[in-house]
């Protein structure tokens, strides 16, 4: 029997007795309250709610009260395979004892239907934001610099995790540069398990690396192993630039041909049009260390091991500025979601459905694209299968470098 359809519409979700999440209603605090005018602002004590829109109390599945996620800003120097040190910037969870920023930023994992509270803080100078790429919050909570506030102190972003899928978060101030510096991390939203779930799989959010459940068309399917691979190219010269280098400024003085303000003005001298990456990474690991297993004692890599007969979910994100030509050798991969959206999910079955990329057939990803791939290797496929990415110049298509890793199918 197929699993029930779980709608993404918050109103339907709230009415569905099988849905265990809580749904936020938008409220608008009165201007006289002195509160931030965010339409979806939720008072910490649950008071001051608009009487017409009673907001159910936020909760998580594991804890009786809301659990805000905190991200602080930090910089780190990372030694690359050629011995050069490169500075990276990013976010980390300061609530984990002894934790610090490692490129890329700490993963965030939620459950479909949860209300998310993300506190951005620890910014000592200048400003940053967090944009929740693929999520659809109000403008105030979208973290896009210039369109909403840039955070110099502290801000709590709030939104509803309405659709399970693969997303990422990143700074959106002087975006091109700050993203290159490493100011991004994965943002994963898990679906609830099917009614008859495998008792061996914990309740969501599922553990990083698997096992868990993922949406596939109209159902929720199990995976045994999970790999999250973020493709990224690093130009070390960009990592010597200043916070505001080449940043456009607001400009209401210069007018365009129609007499409207041009809005942006590249005042800092020089743009970020020259990009010559020297390092090619998967999930922060530069090639060739990418080839190693994560358990490698010297240079942990991103290769993944899966048993024949089991299912591997690969969440692939292009965090690069070059065009990424990807090839999975020896294994077919079914694309079940793109850009955080499930393929073939009603009522959109007319427009999309999961499809298979045959072993060895290349596919291209460009900046910010995400593919969720399901791979089910058979006993006949026991062995080592190469996954290789060519980083092609965004204009000339010249291959600037590669990153390579493996799927090891074991008995």
Q: Which is nearer to Cu ion, 183 or 214 (CB)?
A: 183
Region 329-348 residues binding Cu ion, contact defined as CB under 5 A? none
**Which residues in 168-187 contact Cu ion (CB under 5 A)?**
171, 173, 178, 183
Residue number of the CB closest to Cu ion reads 171
71 vs 173, beta carbon nearer Cu ion: 173
Whether cis (ω within 30° of 0) applies to the bond prior to 348 is no
Strands (E), 247-301: 248-255, 261-266, 279-282, 285-286
Shorter beta-carbon distance to Cu ion: residue 150 or 235: 150
Instruction: Kindly determine how many residues on this chain lie close enough to bind Cu ion according to the rule CB under 5 A.
Output: 5
In whole angstroms, the minimum distance from the beta carbon of 23 to Cu ion comes to 31
Least spacing, CB of residue 146 vs Cu ion, in Å: 13
Three-class SS state of 28: coil
- Residue 141 phi/psi, 5-degree rounding, is -110, 10
Q: Are 361 and 373 in contact (CB under 8 A)?
A: no
- Put residue 252 in one of left, alpha, beta given phi > 0 → left and psi -120 to 50 → alpha: alpha
Q: Which residues on adjacent β-strands are paired with residue 373?
A: 314, 335
Query: How is 33-96 classified by DSSP, letter by letter?
Result: GTS---TB---TTS-S--TTSPPPPP--SSSSS---EEEEEEEEEEE-TTS-EEEEEEEE-TTS
Which one, 171 or 187, has the nearer CB to Cu ion?
171
Query: Which range in 1-9, 13-21, 165-173, 391-399 contacts Cu ion by CB under 5 A?
Result: 165-173
Q: Mark 114-133 with x for binding to Cu ion (rule: CB under 5 A) and - for no binding.
A: --------------x-----
Of 179 and 391, nearer to Cu ion (C-beta) is 179
Between residues 78 and 222, which has the closer beta carbon with respect to Cu ion?
78
Judged by CB under 5 A, the chain residues 239 through 298 that form the site for Cu ion are none
Strand partners, 118: 69, 157
Asked if omega into 205 is within 30° of 0 (cis), the reply is: yes
Q: How far is the CB of 84 from Cu ion (least distance, A)?
A: 23
Site for Cu ion in 179-238 (CB under 5 A): 183
Residue ranges in contact with Cu ion by CB under 5 A: 128, 171, 173, 178, 183
């Amino acid at each position: 029997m197929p699993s029930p359809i779980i709608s993404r519409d918050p109103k339907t979700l709230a009415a569905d007795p099988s849905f265990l999440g809580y749904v936020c209603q938008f409220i608008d605090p009165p201007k006289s309250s002195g509160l931030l005018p965010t339409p979806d602002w939720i008072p910490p004590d649950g008071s001051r709610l608009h009487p017409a829109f009673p907001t159910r109390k936020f909760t998580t599945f594991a804890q009786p009260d809301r659990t805000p996620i905190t991200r602080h800003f930090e910089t780190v120097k990372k030694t690359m395979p050629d011995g050069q040190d490169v500075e990276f910037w990013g976010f980390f969870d300061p609530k984990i004892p002894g934790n610090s920023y490692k490129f890329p930023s700490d993963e965030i994992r939620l459950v479909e239907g949860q209300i998310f509270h993300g506190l951005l803080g620890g910014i000592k100078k200048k400003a940053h934001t967090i944009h929740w790429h693929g999520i659809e919050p109000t403008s105030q909570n979208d973290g896009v610099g210039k369109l909403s506030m840039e955070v110099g102190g502290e801000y709590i972003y709030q939104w509803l995790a309405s659709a399970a899928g693969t997303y990422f978060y990143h700074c959106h101030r002087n975006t091109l540069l700050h993203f290159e510096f490493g100011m991004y991390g994965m943002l994963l939203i898990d679906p609830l398990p099917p009614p008859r779930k495998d008792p061996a799989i914990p309740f969501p959010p599922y553990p990083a690396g698997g096992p868990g459940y993922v949406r596939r068309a109209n159902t929720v399917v199990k995976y045994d192993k999970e790999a999250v691979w973020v493709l990224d190219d690093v130009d070390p010269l960009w990592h010597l630039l200043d916070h505001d280098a080449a940043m456009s400024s607001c400009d209401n003085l210069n007018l365009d041909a129609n007499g409207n303000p041009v809005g942006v003005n590249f005042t800092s001298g020089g743009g970020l049009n020259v990009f010559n990456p020297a390092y090619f990474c998967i999930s922060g690991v530069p090639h060739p260390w990418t080839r190693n297993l994560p358990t490698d004692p010297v240079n942990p890599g991103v290769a993944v091991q899966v048993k024949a007969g089991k299912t591997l979910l690969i969440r692939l994100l292009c965090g690069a500025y070059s065009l990424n030509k990807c090839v999975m050798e020896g294994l077919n991969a079914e694309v079940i979601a793109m850009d955080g959206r499930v393929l073939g999910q009603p009522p959109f079955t007319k427009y999309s459905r999961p499809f298979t990329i045959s072993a060895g057939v290349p596919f291209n990803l460009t900046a910010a694209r995400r593919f969720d791939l399901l791979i089910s290797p058979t006993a006949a496929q026991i062995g080592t299968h190469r996954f290789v990415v060519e980083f092609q110049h965004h204009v000339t298509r010249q291959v600037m470098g590669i990153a390579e890793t493996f799927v090891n199918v074991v008995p």
